[in-house]
Structure 1
Amino acid sequence: MSDQIHVLLDETAMVAAGQGNFVVSRLIHRAHAEAGWYVYVTTCALVEADRARPGAAEHLVSMPGITVLDLDLPAALAVARDDSWAVAHTRYAAEPMPERPDGAFIATAAPKRWENHPVRLLDINP
């Protein structure tokens, strides 16, 4: 088990960040200020967040501590099998990989949408 914390923001968490959600703000702060904390956004979820809250994408990617995960070929192949690009890209990025051996938690304001997916969640609702 790694001593690093990896968290992916889904599009609902990104929108919540723009609305002042304390949990998301704290995660972003920790990723910027503390060693071993990492916060990611996938490009597909970033697009959906910006559709829901215009300006969210530019705001999030300008923050120190946020790492944007591109839609590379393996991610694109995973996305192609799903109806929702945002969910598929985020789910794929949460899987264990060499840079995230234990995978990543998905921070979300909509935990029910992830019930049928084998992922670890962080519910950001109060």
Structure 2
Amino acid sequence: MTDPHEPVHVILDDTAMAAAGRGNLLASRLIHRAHAEPGWYLYVTACALVEADRARPGTGEHIAALPGVTVLDLDLTAALSVARQDSWALAHTLYAAQPTPERPSGAVVATATPDAWAGHPVRVLDLTP
């Protein structure tokens, strides 16, 4: 059982961002919690933000402007990890979901396409209705 006082770290992948733009209730709840509740943290990666905006124009600007959403930059270490993969959005999100000093247990990936994450070492939150 997890500690109810432990911070919750969630990363929206590109499909979750697009789903939020289409009014997905689960994505909207995550965004609200990150803004209103202490201990809830919501992230998006720069590469996934670009891909979400390509799939649904305007999504990137909208998501980046939301209070409570932190955009994770593509730093050198992330860029080297992303360079080895076919999908920059998936690779950057996968990299960001791994444990860090700020997120010792890593982060959960919120997605509208959970099958895309099969075989990857991450916890997934399925946003499909």
TM-score range normalised by the length of the shorter chain: over 0.9
After TM superposition, which residue ranges in structure 1, 4 or more long, deviate above 4 angstroms?
none
Alignment correspondent of 1:56? 59
> Which residue of 42, 66, 72 corresponds with 1:39?
42
1:27 aligns with 2:30: yes
Amino acid in the other structure paired with 1:30: R
C-alpha distance after superposition, 1:22-76 (max 9, x if no partner): 1110001000011100000000000000000000000001110100000001100
Q: Whole-Å Cα distance in 2 between the matches of residues 78 and 116 of structure 1? A: 17
Q: Which runs of no fewer than 5 residues in structure 2 stay unpaired?
A: none
Amino acid in the other structure paired with 1:51: R
Normalising by structure 1, we get a TM-score of 0.98
Normalising by structure 2, we get a TM-score of 0.95
Percent of aligned pairs with the same amino acid: 68
Q: What is the DSSP-based 3-state SS (H/G/I as helix, E as strand, rest coil) of the residue aligned with 1:117?
A: coil
Alignment correspondent of 1:78? 81
Amino acid in the other structure paired with 1:71: L
Q: How many residues align?
A: 126
CA offset at residue 106 of structure 1?
0.2
Q: Whole-Å Cα distance in 2 between the matches of residues 46 and 12 of structure 1? A: 10
Q: Whole-Å Cα distance in 1 between the matches of residues 31 and 21 of structure 2? A: 12
1:117 aligns with 2:99: no
